[in-house]
Structure 1
Amino acid sequence: MKLIISTWLQNLGIACSISSFFTLFFRLTEFEWVTKSIYHIPVFFVVVFLLGLVLAEDVRKVFKKLFWYEKRKDQRPIWQVGIGFIFFLAQIGMVMVFSTELTQPELGGMPLFLVFAFMNAFIMTVIYEEIFYREDKTNELNSH
């Protein structure tokens, strides 16, 4: 059950990243009319989010093959980086699409929302690991 919820959350993060970055891309081009909003939610975002949910599982599998996840002796570090990256991209995408005014404040020349997204992604990865990776750690400890 934990594996299904973990996979579902990862797919949601990937779909959110895909849809927000496509929405942002179209918003910055002459096709801005595609990203018209209803109640401050871009219709294009919703459509691409639903398509992203369909594609997210395949995207996850491609990245697992690309980084030889299954062949690694210790899969935990690459798992942590992948989960953290999903959280980081999803947060950045959401800010860029729904709260562009938050992209203005800077901290020493770096946009503040990137700093917060990185810190949040780190904390969320630690919490996520405690919830979903704990079972693997206990099985590993029992096998020694």
Structure 2
Amino acid sequence: MKPTGGSVAAFIADVTPAPRRRDAETLTALLQEISGREPELWGSIIGFGSCHYRYPTGTEGDMPVLAFAPRKAASTLYLDSTERHGDALARLGPHTVGKGCLYIKDLAKVDLDVLRPILEDVLSWTEAGGDGYAQITVEG
């Protein structure tokens, strides 16, 4: 995966439904503040920063350091692992999870004071090189 260019603002302006667009604007500001990096489009994902990962299996690639995608059904935030954040997620408010994804249908209904430390931890974990299983090298 690589940044694909394009205007993040124009992409967000086309997001539907309107509550997802509002959430995309809020998440863009929040992730930019947490990461200290500018938003970039990675296809339909809004990413902040870039890193390279390599698994012991030889699988490797590039991904954003922090990222989310404003999908029609919910905003998808990409985490390192939802299991690592179980206690905080229990206090977050309405959401669902996958193995490494956090799905939020309405950002106004979750506690941003709980979400922020989760995202800060994901950033720290990534910048520290991951958990030792995968090698992660942050670029820039």
TM range (shorter): 0.3 to 0.5
**Larger RCO, structures 1/2 (Cα 8 Å, 6+ apart):** 1
User: TM-score if structure 2 supplies the norm length?
Assistant: 0.32
User: TM-score scaled to structure 1, two decimals?
Assistant: 0.31
Which one has the bigger strand percentage?
2
